[in-house]
Amino acid sequence: MSFTDKVAIVTGSSSGIGEATLLQLARGGAKVVLNYSSNEDAAKATEALLTEIDAEFITVKANVSEDDDCQRLVQSAMDKWGRLDILVNNAGTTKFAAHENMDALQAEDFLRLYGVNVVGPFQMIRAALEPMKASGGGSVVNVSSIAGVAGIGSSVAYAATKGALNTMTLSLARALGPDVRVNAVCPGFVGTPWFRDRFGEETFNAIIKRMEENTPLKKAGTPESIAEAICFFASEASSFVTGETLLIDAGSHLDMTTLSQR
């Protein structure tokens, strides 16, 4: 896919799905904004990868739960290149808590997760709206989760935020057309370094094996496989698509037994 002369912001792009998306956009010719919130070492490693492929990029440290940071992130792209065409809302957070444990989550947990996973994307879209309109229209891709569709995942709070993000995708696709398209991807399990670090190599490999054995496509998700779908929504190939929430999980949503084990 070609992104020549396009400018893209990918939030939370120093690792995992965000990094893979940033690299694919850059390989397609886009000028890209690398964003991170706290992990400077990871950002520097991503900078090295971008440099290897001769990408044109800037790096901006910003927390999407803060509206001033969202405005600054967009303005950084405008100051550098004078336009903005693509926004990928990838930054997210969670708290791990068994769904049946009603004491594992407090109000502040919900508020923190909503601040990053829902309010953050809204603030980013609001900040990017006029610049994208001025560039002739734009594409927003929200990185959601199968958790927001099936009510599964790391915690009830996380699933609730992703459900809200899916609903917001529909609302804003309706409100912002025809100037800006808004779509979402809903990955299932994705084998990111973050996941490996969180659960350890043994559990990580066991989940990959289970996905490869039990999903209809006999595959486990990778950051690159999700990035491909994100880049489709970001590209002109999807110019007739808005308000879509795409499940990307090798078909695991077709088997509720597999889902219940997540």
Distance separating alpha carbons of residues 154 and 94, to the nearest angstrom: 7
Backbone conformation region of residue 180, classed left if phi is above 0, alpha if psi is from -120 to 50, else beta: beta
Q: What is the mean pLDDT of residues 9-22?
A: 98
Taken in order of first residue, the domains within the chain and their CATH numbers are: 7-192+221-251 (3.40.50.720)
Q: What is the mean pLDDT of the chain?
A: 94
Each residue's pLDDT tens digit, 22-56: 999 999 999 999 999 999 999 999 999 999 999 99
Going across the sheet that includes 245-248, the strands are 57-61, 31-36, 7-10, 86-89, 138-143, 180-187, 245-248
Tens-digit pLDDT profile for residues 73-111? 999 999 999 999 999 999 999 999 999 999 999 999 999
Residue of 3, 122, 158, 204 with catalytic role: 158
pTM, two decimal places: 0.94
Please give the full DSSP string across 102-170, using - where no structure is assigned: TTS--HHHHHHHHIIIIIHHHHHHHHHHHHHHHTT-EEEEEE--THHHHS-SS-HHHHHHHHHHHHHHH
Residue type, 257: T
158 carries an active-site annotation? yes
Share of the chain above pLDDT 90, in %: 84
| pLDDT band at residue 257 under the 50/70/90 scheme | low
**Ramachandran bin of 251, using left for φ above 0, alpha for ψ from -120 to 50, beta for the remaining angles:** left
